[in-house]
Structure 1
Amino acid sequence: MGFNKKTIEDIEVRGKRVLVRCDFNVPLKDGVITDENRLNGALPTIKYLIDNGAKVILCSHIGKDASKTLEPVSKRLSEMLNKEVVFARDEEVVGANARAAVEKMNDGDVVLLENTRCRKEETKNVEEFSKELASLADIFVNDAFGTAHRAHCSTVGVTDYVDTAVCGYLIQKELKFLGDAVNNPVRPFVAILGGAKVSDKIAVINNLLDKVDTLIIGGGMAYTFLKAQGYEIGTSLVEEDRLDYALEMIQKAKDKGVKFLLPVDHRVATEFKDVEPVVTEDQNIPAGHMGLDIGPKTEELYADAIKDAKTVVWNGPMGVFEFENFNKGTIAVAKAMADADATTVIGGGDSAAAVNILGFGDKMTHISTGGGASLEFLEGKELPGIVALNNK
């Protein structure tokens, strides 16, 4: 997907009512936001609109349904912007409170609507709710990359009922870094894929093998590739129905001249617990043991491949990084990326959480805010929330 979409800088916003779809799906504990990355990601677009005299109407979902409110977000945003963000508490999202709040707005004011998933129509992209959202605004801005792969009322439906639909800075940045990394990489281009299942990454592996110089596999999905080649994997996670596919991908890499790296040793345990690991001597895992992380020799092999890269994209941890005894492989990969003289892009989800928790976040060129959206982008899919915006 090339980037040819209009952005907020391509249009006049002064005096206009601008509906901005943000990604405020933040974790809460006792009503307090525990990770503000997504709020920080939204600030540049919101500040630009305030500074340029727009009437800024923010909307987002939080959680999977109507059980959570965006009120804590309005309070925290008010502090971050040093300016009141009026919270329009409305179970129907676009109700009397929301309309009254928008009616009162002056240029540069900010209103936040309630959780869009208070409306069941949201995720089904029902025309009626899309029209209601659009009725509040002259212009629609999508800046929620994390939901760009979903065709919902607040990401896609609303664009049918406004003349102007553009992207904000966050989406522009995501498409620049992910797009350039995947479609115009400075070589050597190394991609690292981890996580539990091969089936989650089938299309990604297939797409990346046409683009990369080296593909590194770690995490639970590695054991399916190893078993397919006849190695012993003990009680490790395996997808029996993906063994033929694993061999096909290994063959495709050979045919394309792509280096396909799999673990050469492992940290294993007899149960899924944070216990003292046993390190295997080679690729084989002894009976009664499960692989929970890559081993020290593999760390070296992977770090070596990353060291000379000019572009590195990483999606998915190397092991059970939540366990202190089994986060060593993920740390080694993060450190190798931090030390590399390369454009380093983290494709959202667990790998983004891992690099932030492990303290390498500020060493990466770009950390994507969208897990599912990043994955679909890496698969080569078009994202409906982007497609719906006006072309330049």
Structure 2
Amino acid sequence: MAIPGGTKTDQSYGASHSLMCINHIPVENMRVVIRVEFNEPMTDHVVINNYRMRMTIPTIKYALKWRARAVIILAHFGDPRGKRDSDLSLKTICDEMATLLGETVIFVPRTVGKDVMTTINVVHPGSILMLENLRFHAEEDQGGYMAMPDCRLRPMDMLNNPTRYIPGGFQAEVNAQYCEELSRLGDIFVNDAFAALHLDHASITGNFRPTRVCGFLVKNELKYLAKLLNYPRRKFLVILGGVNFDDKMDILPGIFREVDSLILAGKMACLFLKVEHGLKTGQMTFTKHQQQRAREMIKLAAYYKCRIHYPVDLTVSQDNKLDKLKQVSISEGIPNGYNFVDIGNLSASMFTRIIKRKNMIFWMGTTGNGQIDYERSGTKPLMEALSSVTHDPEKAAMTIIGGRGLSQIVEKYDPDHEAFTHLTTGGRTALELIAKRHVVGLEPLLPRPGKRPLSLLGPNEFLEFRDAVVMLRCDLDLPMDDGVPLNAFPLQHLVETIKFIQKKGVQAIILVSERGHPDGRHVDALSMEEIKPLLEELLEQPVLWNPEVLTPGEDNPAAGVAKGSIMLAENIGFHPEEAGFMLTESGERVPVSHEQTNAFRAHLNKIADVFVNESFGSVHRAFSSVVGIARKPRLAGINLKKQIYDYVDIRRQLDGSFLLIMGAEVVDELMYRLLLLYGALDIVDSVFLCGHMAAAFQSAAVTSPFKELRDAQILIPRIVHKARLKKVTLAQVTDHYASKDPSNPEEETKVVLVEASLPKGFIRCDMGPASMA
């Protein structure tokens, strides 16, 4: 039998990408379209479980808080198969949503068309609209891939439905037109329908021209699932139950690759028991195809060393009479005339013991067919065991559950969701993410090739690169005093990233950094060898020293090293190709040829399989180790990602009170800082200048150490003029400390006003007491 799906070391398509969320973009005065999944259970037009609806409220309220012009909600309900059906209208859902939000929600009885656009354009700013059921349009279920010219056709889809993928066919044209109409509804498209991300539907995968981001629900779901996938403490258990199992069979190969143990309950357990142990199934019947698929899955589980746990007894009923339940062993089987209801008591006890040995658990589907009440079901003892391992302080298990049946039980018996870590709104989507580390609905939300040089590495990413060699660009330019770092804080963040990558089973990590300003020359005082013992102390493991790893010619530096090794390269600044120039002893700047730089960059691409940048201080520089990596998975480290997001949040949350304090330690940085300041005047309302920045402003019109910086003398008056136009306050130091030797604490220190001349032999060393006050 051919083994589908590859091996456990395969990387998943799209795994290293990251998603933009609604809080990363401006929404003010925008029409925000939010795709949600409100396919909630309903009886007599009354919503029984509104959990998914409640989980989308933060996204809707965020758009309203930041003054969106209108919020347009798109959803589907039931399966009307492209025809209008009053029983499947979203009017009831709309009323329920209005109650939950405490706001008026305007129901629009159409999904696309001129009437819909007219309504959207005439409503008052800040209005919420819910459009009619998307599935009233047959084009919705036909998918969006053919309407996406920049998306690959998937071979399996072409085999399963060849008529849909006829080049230039009518269906493609209809889908493209429908997607075009959906795209006109708004300026920003937010996908918060986590439970529908596995569906190739037009509103999920279609080619929408507006900005496409995820909502808080999708972001939160991915965060929890990524903890299962990215922190594999390995005792990973998946529990599959419920009545429907055909769709689960398709993704079992991926489940086998990811988990150590699988508990089968529900109707699927009966199928596997019939195939492997000859279980008599009573009134239940299984097709030959289903039985053949089960045999293949059993062989795959053995291949991937995933242990399957089956029930040892079952609860059955005759003619579905629940007042006369009977427990039978697997050897007895289900008698003729009887049907499966749930797992038995012995099975529940056995599964409970298995759960208590695990620390990562995903559970989808009840243990039975949902006919008996929760108190008598096998679901209850398993739920209690789940709560036990979740709240055990020593085990602290990560537990996620999903599926409509389980969700209803939780909402009724555990409304505060205390028995587990997370209740997912989309069990099938979550299961597919675990198995494939990707779902089709994430495709349109991913940054397009060439748009972003780095993806983001971190707890919310689906990332796998086992047995890979990772080049980690970091910042080890630490101030040192006799071999002791004056500030080891950056090392602590670096250690966090290194340990995170090591947990993924990499072969080796090569640390690459610049130290000081060697300007393309070998300077012994700036060697990285001095940093090696500091890293070993923090990492609590040996660090290999390889000063030749960056020298062209050594293309496989990790050959022969132990798995998970850490290798420290020599100062990359010793190579003139890093910055593109070399400074001679006379101070002359000699550029490096393009051929030489390209050869050096080609070598950097050969020595590793994956590139991770954890050097926040160098991402603005066009160094070879920053921008010269091509054809590799290129990722941002955990700390770099955090700092980027922190600054994005600061930029987004500006409320008009923004003080910028800017100095410059060395004269070489002055022009660069001045250019930054000129741009910053657009977003700040106050600037405090200190250090060489203040000295430059004070000395701009007179003879000064900066007289040779002609560009700076031109730019400073422009900065002052722009600050006046923008009404930005420019404040400077009024006094400063001066000393003959600032590095000597015993040296005499004087306080000098800025308008006074410095005493002979004295130099500025810091702002004075009046400026500090």
Once the two structures are TM-superposed, the CA of residue 137 in structure 1 deviates from its matched residue by: 1.2
Aligned partners of 1:324, 1:79: CA distance in 2, in Å? 30
Number of the residue aligned with 1:173? 220
Q: Which secondary structure does the structure 2 equivalent of 1:54 belong to?
A: coil
Asked if 1:190 is matched to 2:208, the reply is no
1:21 counterpart (25, 31, 35): 35
Which residue is equivalent to 1:36? 50
Q: Do the aligned residues in 2 keep the contact of 1:320 with 1:326 (CA within 8 Å)?
A: no
Residues of 2 paired with 1:36 and 1:273: CA distance? 31
Moved more, 2-11 or 294-303: 2-11
Amino acid at match of 1:99: M
2:315 corresponding residue in structure 1: 267
Amino-acid identity (%): 30
- Give the superposition deviation at 1:156: 2.2
Partner amino acid, structure 2, of 1:177: Y
State the shift of 1:381 in Å.
6.8
- Provide the rounded CA distance (Å) in 2 between the counterparts of 1:179 and 1:166: 18
Matches within 5 A, 1:117-196: 117-125=135-143, 126-159=175-208, 161-162=209-210, 164-182=211-229, 184-196=231-243
- Asked whether the 8 Å contact 2:258–2:434 carries over to 1, the reply is no
1-structure distance, mates of 2:374, 2:135: 39
Contact 1:220 1:238 in 2 (8 A): no
* Contact kept in structure 1, 2:253 and 2:301, CA below 8 Å: no
Whether contact under 8 Å (2:29, 2:68) holds in the other structure is yes
Distance in 2 (CA, whole Å) between partners of 1:344 and 1:361 is 15
Partner of residue 134, structure 2: 116
Letter in 1 for 2:182: L
- Provide the rounded CA distance (Å) in 2 between the counterparts of 1:14 and 1:325: 47
Using a 3 Å threshold, how does the CA distance of structure 1 residues 207 and 283 change in structure 2: closer, same or farther?
A: farther
Cα pair distance change 1:298/1:290, threshold 3 Å: same
* 68-77 vs 9-18, greater mean Cα deviation: 68-77
Q: Which amino acid aligns with 1:132?
A: E
Whether contact under 8 Å (2:401, 2:427) holds in the other structure is no
Is it true that 1:343 corresponds to 2:398 in the alignment?
yes
Partner of 1:269: helix, strand, or coil? strand
Q: Check if 1:204 corresponds to 2:251.
A: yes
Counterpart for residue 63 of structure 1 = 78
Equivalent position to 2:423, from 344, 347, 367? 367
The alignment partner of 1:155 has SS state of helix
Structure of greater Rg:
2
Task: Return closer, same or farther for 1:299/1:137 CA change in 2, 3 Å cut-off.
Answer: same
Deviates further, 260-269 or 116-125: 116-125
Are 1:130 and 1:157, in contact at CA under 8 Å, matched by a contact in 2? yes
Please point out which of 51, 67, 80 is paired with 2:100.
Answer: 80
Q: CA deviation at 1:375?
A: 4.2
Question: Once the 2 structures are TM-superposed, how far is the Cα of residue 178 of structure 1 from its aligned partner?
Answer: 2.8
Q: Please give the alpha-carbon distance, in whole angstroms, between the structure 2 residues aligned to 1:220 and 1:25.
A: 24
Structure-2 separation of matches of 1:72 and 1:243:
42
| 1:96 Cα deviation from its structure 2 partner | 4.2
- CA, structure 1 residues 291+283, in 2 after alignment: closer, same or farther (shift >3 Å)? farther
Moved more, 71-80 or 9-18: 71-80
1:383 is matched with 439
Q: Structure 1 residues 185 and 273 mapped into 2: Cα distance closer, same or farther (>3 Å)?
A: farther
The separation in 2 between residues aligned to 1:320 and 1:258, in whole angstroms, is 25
Whichever residue aligns with residue 279 of structure 1, its letter is Q
- The Cα of 1:247 is off from its aligned counterpart by 4.4
In structure 1, C-alpha distance between the alignment counterparts of 2:308 and 2:200, rounded to whole Å: 35
User: Do the aligned partners of 1:54 and 1:108 also contact (CA within 8 Å) in 2?
Assistant: yes
Identify the structure with bigger relative contact order (alpha carbons < 8 Å, sequence gap 6+).
1
Amino acid at match of 2:205: V
- Deviations along 1:153-192, one digit per CA (max 9) or x if unpaired, are 3222252x22x10100111122222343245444311111
**Structure 1, 231-240 or 65-74: larger mean CA deviation:** 231-240
Contact between 1:122 and 1:153, CA under 8 Å: does it hold in 2? yes
With 137-146 and 77-86 compared, the bigger mean Cα shift is at 77-86
- Provide Cα deviations, 1:226-255, integer angstroms capped at 9, x if missing partner: 222334425163535344544454444445
What's the offset of the Cα at 1:195? Answer: 2.6
Paired AA for residue 352 in structure 1:
S
What CA distance in whole angstroms lies between the structure 2 residues aligned with 1:80 and 1:326? 30
Cα separation, 2, equivalents of 1:133 and 1:245: 39
Alignment counterpart, residue 101 of structure 1, candidates 119, 123, 126: 119
In structure 2, which of residues 264, 271, 275 is the aligned counterpart of residue 228 of structure 1?
Answer: 275
Distance 1:274 1:326 in 2: 14
**In structure 2, C-alpha distance between the alignment counterparts of 1:88 and 1:75, rounded to whole Å:** 12
Amino acid at match of 2:284: L
Distance 1:308 1:12 in 2: 47
Output the CA distance in 1 between the equivalents of 2:320 and 2:130.
43
Counterparts of 2:245 and 2:33, CA distance in 1: 39
Deviation string, structure 1 residues 201-232 (Cα, Å, up to 9, x no partner) = 22333221212122111112212222223344
Summarize deviations over 1:339-390 as a string: whole Å, max 9, x none.
2222111132333334434547712322222244334334427422221114
- Match for 1:61: what amino acid? H
Give unpaired runs (5+ residues) of structure 1.
Answer: none
What amino acid is the match of 1:216?
I
**Alpha carbons of structure 1 residues 258 and 135: separation in structure 2 relative to 1, 3 Å:** closer
Aligned to 2:66: 52
Residue 300, structure 1, aligned to residue 349, structure 2: yes
Q: Measure the CA separation in 2 of the matches of 1:304 and 1:136.
A: 53
* CA distance, structure 1, for counterparts of residue 361 and residue 436 of structure 2: 17
In angstroms, what is the RMSD of aligned CA positions?
2.7
Greater shift, 229-238 or 138-147, is seen at 229-238
| Greater shift in the superposed pair: 51-60 or 251-260 | 251-260
SS in 2 for 1:332: helix
Q: TM-score under structure 2 normalisation?
A: 0.47
Corresponding pairs, count: 388
